[in-house]
Amino acid sequence: MTVSIHPLKKYTRSHITRTTTCPGCGIGIVSQAILRAIDELEFNMDDFVFVSGIGCSAWIPSPLYNTDTLHTTHGRPIAFATGVKLGLPNKNVMVISGDGDLAAIGGNHLIHAARRNINLTVILLNNGIYGMTGGQTAPTTPRGLTTITSPYGTMEHNFDITPMVVTAGASYAARWTTYHPRQMTRSIKKAIQKKGFALIEAMSQCPVQYGRVSKLGKAVDMLKDFKVNSVKINKARNMEPEALLGKIVIGEFVDIEKAELSEECMNLRRKMMEAM
């Protein structure tokens, strides 16, 4: 019998043989995109430190990825990662977590890390709902959707995360869906290489919670929905706001060069030490 080994298996802890995701979850697609990006850039896992928070997608690196992984409290991975990056400026520090973790309870850290332009790669999986706790409404849930905590339909407007992070000052920000894994992988590669704060908002299907309440159905139907409703950013810029209602704008929102915090800190230390 021929034993075939997954080409990305070398990046995972050998004793971890199963994941915690539900059938049809988008996490597998995003996790593969991350590992393929690392593989294609020919990085070693030891070049990375992964930091995650609380929620389904926080369990992508912890315990699976075979390098230093820090699984933190709810909402705070970017704050922890800030200390990690300032102490280890030569490592790639990647935060992987969900929309509830990074944009709701941890929203302030997301905004301020983008403002500081600290060299973190943040993979934010947005499934539009709280999956792990049983399908509660999130700040990313589309207005009007009925969930277990919005039984009469959400009355609140939802966050548009990527443009918010662009406004806050990020060097790089892109949004893709799990229907676009190759584009997502390319963007993650750029995000890792970008000297500055880089966000990838990965729209990801949660068939068990979101698929049920939105009546979008199973994973395949949700991916088809991503396909139909995604609009490239160049096209979206020429569209009326009404025409974009219910659409997902995908692509690169920003890609600029600007001063980065961990390097600025290193330069300051060097300057001060030389002045001795």
Partner 1 sequence: MSRNKKVLTGTHFEMGNWACAEGAIAAGCNFVAGYPITPASEVANRLAARLPRVNGTFLQTEDEIGAICSAIGASWVGCKAMTVTSGPGISLMQENIGFAVATETPLVIIDVQRFGPSTGVPSVGLAADMVQVARGSHGDYQIIALSPESPQEMFDLTIRAFSLAEAYRVPVFLMADGFIGHMREQIVIPEEDRTKIKQRKIAEQSVSVLDRRDFLDVKVAPMPVFGLGLKAHVTSSCHDEHGMRNLSDPAVMHTYVMNPIKKIVNHRDDIVQVEDDCIDAEVALVSYGTVSRSARAAAGLARKNGLKVGTFRMLTCWPFPDKEIRQLAENVEYMLVLENNTGQMYPYIKAEAAHACRVSFLGPQTLGQIHDPEYILSHLNRR
The answer to the question of residue 11 lying near partner 1 (CB under 8 A) is: no
Region of 48 on the Ramachandran plot (φ > 0 left; ψ -120 to 50 alpha; else beta): beta
Interior CA angle at 14 toward 18 and 2, to 5°?
Answer: 85
Among 122, 105, 110, 125, smallest CA distance to 57 is for 125
In the beta sheet, which residues pair with residue 98?
A: 125
Applying CB under 8 A, does 275 fall inside the site for partner 1? yes
Stretch binding partner 1 (CB under 8 A), from 76-84, 153-161, 207-215, 236-244: 76-84
CA distance 264 to 193: 17
Among residues 82, 158, 183, 230, which is the contact residue for partner 1, using CB under 8 A? 82
Nearest approach, Cβ of 55 to partner 1 (angstroms)? Answer: 12
Of residues 61, 44, 40, 39, the one with CA closest to residue 52: 61
- What does the DSSP assignment read for 21-64? PPTT-THHHHHHHHHHHHHHTT--GGGEEEEE-SSGGGGTTTTT
Range in contact with partner 1 (rule: CB under 8 A) among 29-37, 83-91, 159-167, 222-230: 83-91
**Minimum gap (Å) between residue 254 Cβ and partner 1:** 21
Q: Does 31 bind partner 1 (CB under 8 A)?
A: no
- How many beta carbons lie within 10 A of that of residue 82, not counting itself? 22
Is 164 among the residues that bind partner 1 (CB under 8 A)? no
Which H/E stretch holds residue 251?
strand 248-255
Amino acid occupying residue 233: I
Minimum CB distance to partner 1, residue 108 (Å): 5
Residues 33-72 that bind partner 1 (CB under 8 A): 45-46, 49, 51, 62-63, 66-72
Q: Does 245 bind partner 1 (CB under 8 A)?
A: no
**Smallest gap from residue 81 Cβ to partner 1 (A):** 6
Q: Is 276 in the site for partner 1 (CB under 8 A)?
A: yes
Whether residue 21 contacts residue 56, with contact meaning beta carbons closer than 8 Å, is answered with yes
Q: Per rule CB under 8 A, is residue 123 in the interface with partner 1?
A: no
- 133 binds partner 1, rule: CB under 8 A: no
Tokens 């991975």 locate to: 77
Binding-residue pattern over the window 203 to 242 for partner 1, x denoting contact by CB under 8 A: ----------------------------------------
- The single residue listed with the structure tokens 């905004």 is 111
Which residues are bridge partners to 175 per DSSP? 201, 251
Q: Which is nearer to partner 1, 80 or 210 (CB)?
A: 80
Nearer to partner 1, 92 or 127 (CB): 92
Rounded Cα distance, 99 and 166, in Å:
16
Nearer to partner 1, 113 or 254 (CB): 113
* Site residues for partner 1 per CB under 8 A: 13-15, 45-46, 49, 51, 62-63, 66-73, 76, 79-88, 91, 108-109, 111-112, 265, 268-269, 271-273, 275-276
